Structure formats: structure tokens, C-alpha cells
Amino acid sequence: MLLAPSASASSSVHGLCLFGCGVANLANVTNSSQTDFATMSVAVGVAASVSLRVSNSSGPFPAGRRTGFLVADPSALLNLTLLQNVTVETLLSGSVQESATVANLLELQALGLFNNPREGFVGFRTTKPFDAVQLDLGQLASLLGSLNVFGSCVSLQ
């Protein structure tokens, strides 16, 4: 997991959010607790989305690493249908390197890390170097309005 002090988290809201958009408990994404989480919410908005970015200050990761987020849907079983409004991106010096959605190879795996079927890992294997990973939650035609985020991971190989 990407942990403080070498990792830092930030968030932003895009589009027109009328009510309830943002990230609560952002610092939980980079702490060492496996039970703490941040909650991304897009309650009422027009083409609104919320982003959560975890940046690594100790240099870029090489291409070929699997990266993503440990997440949970607080209201239902986590499945790809509910994640159609979720995107995972990698960045290098603030520029997007790669992006994955349900439509283009975003993975959803339980990986045995959690005991709860509402929890899993969303991510992909990279083909370019990166120093940050970002999770975007949108509200367009979606049933999913919030997502709990436990942390961001980068594989060792």
C-alpha cells in the first residue's frame, strides 16, 4: 500500500455538484490501518465526479506494475455493473499516463484480502511509468453514489 509519509492523498470535485460531493476522511487512504477508509460521494450533481489521488514522493514506479485501489460499496455487493462509473488512472508529474474503466480492462478482484463481498481491488497492470494513481467516481446514469476507499496499492513486480 502507498502509505504516508512517502504518499499523500488529495481530492477534487468536477462538474456541477448540487449537493453532497466530496471525499470524507481523506487521510485514511494513506494511513497504516487496514480498517480505516475514506468515503467518496457524488450525491446530487449534473455530470459531477469526484477524484481521489494518491501521489508517491519517493520517485516513479516502472511500467508493468499492477496498481489500483482497495474499495468497498457500502450499500451492495461490489460488482462490475455497479462500477461502470469508476475510472482508475496513473499519472506522471501530473499528466495522465493510462486510464482503465469497466469497458477497458479494469479488474475487480477480492484477492482474499477482505472477508466481505462488498470489498475488492479495482485496478490494472500498467504499461508506462507513474508516480500517482487516481480513482474517479462519476454519477452519470449510475446507481453507485458512494464508495469506501481503504488505500492504494502498487505491486512489487
> Per the domain annotation, does 27 fall within a domain?
yes
Across the chain, what does the average pLDDT equal? 83
27: nearest Cα among 41, 51, 43, 11 = 11
pLDDT tens per residue, range 56-84 = 999 899 999 999 998 887 776 665 556 67
Instruction: Give the residue-averaged pLDDT of 147-155.
Output: 91
| Interstrand relation of 38-56 and 107-109 (parallel, antiparallel or unpaired) | unpaired
Residue 66: inside a domain: yes
User: Could you give the CA distance from residue 29 to residue 115 in angstroms, rounded to a whole number?
Assistant: 19
DSSP structure string for 82-121: TTTTEEEEEEETTEEEEEE-GGGT-EEE-TTT-SSTTEEE
Residue 150, H or E segment: strand 146-154
* Confidence tier at 1 by pLDDT (50, 70, 90): confident
- The reported pTM is 0.86
CA 39 to mean position of chain CA atoms: 11
Tens of pLDDT, residues 119-146: 778 889 999 999 999 999 886 544 457 8
The H or E element containing residue 23 is strand 7-24
pLDDT in tens, 6-38: 999 999 998 877 777 899 999 999 999 888 999
List the domain range (segments joined by +) for residue 55: 7-154
Residue 36 is predicted with a pLDDT of 92
The count of domains in the chain is 1
- Amino acid 35 reads T
Alpha helices in the chain, H assignment, sequence order: none
Decide if 111 is inside a domain: yes
Q: Is residue 1 part of a domain?
A: no
Tell me how crowded residue 3 is: count the other CB atoms within 10 A of its CB.
14
Domain harbouring 108, CATH code: 2.60.120
pLDDT band at 109 (very low <50, low <70, confident <90, very high): low
42 and 52 Cβ atoms separated by less than 8 Å: no
pLDDT at 142: 42
- The answer to the question of residue 2 being in a domain is no
